[in-house]
Amino acid sequence: MGVTGERLRSYIERIERLEEEKQALADDIKEVFAEAKGTGFDVKVMRKIIRMRKQDLNERKEEEALLETYMAAIGMI
């Protein structure tokens, strides 16, 4: 195998190892959600809270206010 082959293989193997680790973390996340669900928590609402906690507080407040304005404007509330 020439230099190029070795270099290509090393890139590929590095990526494969990282992808394996990433998959293991994805499985861990699934497990924690399953554990939380098992103790009665609602996974869909938990995911929503996690998304909200990533958002900037002001940005979130503005969005919520605009949502209410739109909902009122089209008669949803």
Closest contact distance (angstroms) between CB of 19 and a copy of itself is 7
CB 9 within 8 A of CB 1: yes
Name which of residues 20 to 59 contact a copy of itself (CB under 8 A): 21-22, 25-26, 28-29, 32-33, 35-36, 39, 41-42, 44-46, 48-50, 52-53
**CB of 58: closest distance to a copy of itself in angstroms?**
14
- Give the integer Cα–Cα distance in Å for 33 and 40: 11
Q: DSSP per residue over 2-28, as a string?
A: -HHHHHHHHHHHHHHHHHHHHHHHHHH
59 contacts 68 by C-beta, under 8 angstroms: no
Residue ranges binding a copy of itself (CB under 8 A) = 1-2, 4-5, 7-9, 11-12, 14-16, 18-19, 21-22, 25-26, 28-29, 32-33, 35-36, 39, 41-42, 44-46, 48-50, 52-53, 63, 66-67, 70-76
